[in-house]
């Protein structure tokens, strides 16, 4: 979530920044979408590609976590 607040939106950029396996990254992003912390937005149709945007819920949650 912290990376998303820094303006990173695409999974390839998340993977490069965190040196994370693609399978782990896609599973985590899918869970964050299901939980309402990220919003998946298509930015290209062929091939189909998506960006992941922070929701108000994730922004509020990050404020709580950063205060600890």
Q: Compute the average pLDDT of residues 41-65.
A: 88
Residues 24-46: tens digit of each pLDDT? 989 999 999 999 999 999 999 99
Instruction: Report pTM.
Output: 0.76
Structural domains in the chain? 2-67 (1.10.10.10)
3-class SS letters over the chain: CHHHHCCCCCHHHHHHHHCCCHHHHHHHHHHHHHCCCEEEEEEECCCCEEEEEECHHHHHHHHHHHHC
Mean pLDDT score across all residues of the chain: 85
pLDDT band, very low/low/confident/very high, at 2 (cuts 50, 70, 90): low
């Amino acid at each position: 979530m912290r990376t998303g607040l820094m303006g990173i939106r695409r999974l390839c950029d998340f993977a490069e920044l965190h040196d994370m396996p693609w399978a782990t990254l896609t599973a985590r992003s899918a869970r964050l979408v299901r939980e309402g912390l990220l919003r998946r937005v298509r930015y290209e149709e062929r091939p189909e590609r998506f960006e992941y945007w922070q929701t108000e819920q994730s922004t509020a949650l990050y404020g709580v976590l950063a205060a600890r």
